[in-house]
Amino acid sequence: MSEQNIQLSRRFFEDVCNKRQRAVADLLFAGNHVYHDPSSPWVGSGPGGMKDLIGTYHNAVNDAYWDVHSMIAAGDIVVTRWTGRGTHTGDLMGIAPTHRKVSVDGIWMHRIADGKIVESWNCWDMLGLLQQLGVVPMMAVANAA
């Protein structure tokens, strides 16, 4: 079961995110799927919510690509360490295109039941993204004496 769960999560990254086949989300996510990410409270439930979420990044970063570094399964949970990268070419939640290249690391957890992803948690470096886009200044680090 662990390997099947990993393959399901991998298909999300490969097909939905990287190959831009957002319709595949209908096959992967349960109708009542819940997405947890404090930076994206607007994401709706089910496959439609995930298509909207990934579509937002596809539209804002036209060459967006998610590198999967590692995946670990434990029970009904798959944890994926990923890096998203690309060039900011479209509006991103009110941020006008900067044409800057960005790279963001994150951890995405999927809970799987009956062959579908029913719940997701995404924790990623939003501050780093905003700094790379020039929206938030880089933080100065004071030298400890």
Domain extents in the chain: 2-132
Name the token pair of 50. 């995930």
From 126, 46, 128, select the one nearest 93 (Cα to Cα). Answer: 126
Question: What pTM did the predictor assign?
Answer: 0.91
From 55, 46, 37, 35, select the one nearest 123 (Cα to Cα). Answer: 37
Name the token pair of 130. 């905003």
d(CA 38, CA 63): 25
d(CA 128, CA 132): 6
Per-residue pLDDT of the chain (145 residues; tens, 9 = 90+): 799 999 999 999 999 999 999 999 999 999 999 999 988 888 999 999 999 999 999 999 999 999 999 999 999 999 999 999 999 999 998 999 999 999 999 999 999 999 999 999 999 999 999 999 999 988 776 665 5
CA 86 to chain centre: 13
Instruction: Tell me how many degrees the CA angle 100-106-107 measures, rounded to the nearest 5.
Output: 165
Kindly report the CATH number that applies to the domain delimited by 2-132: 3.10.450.50
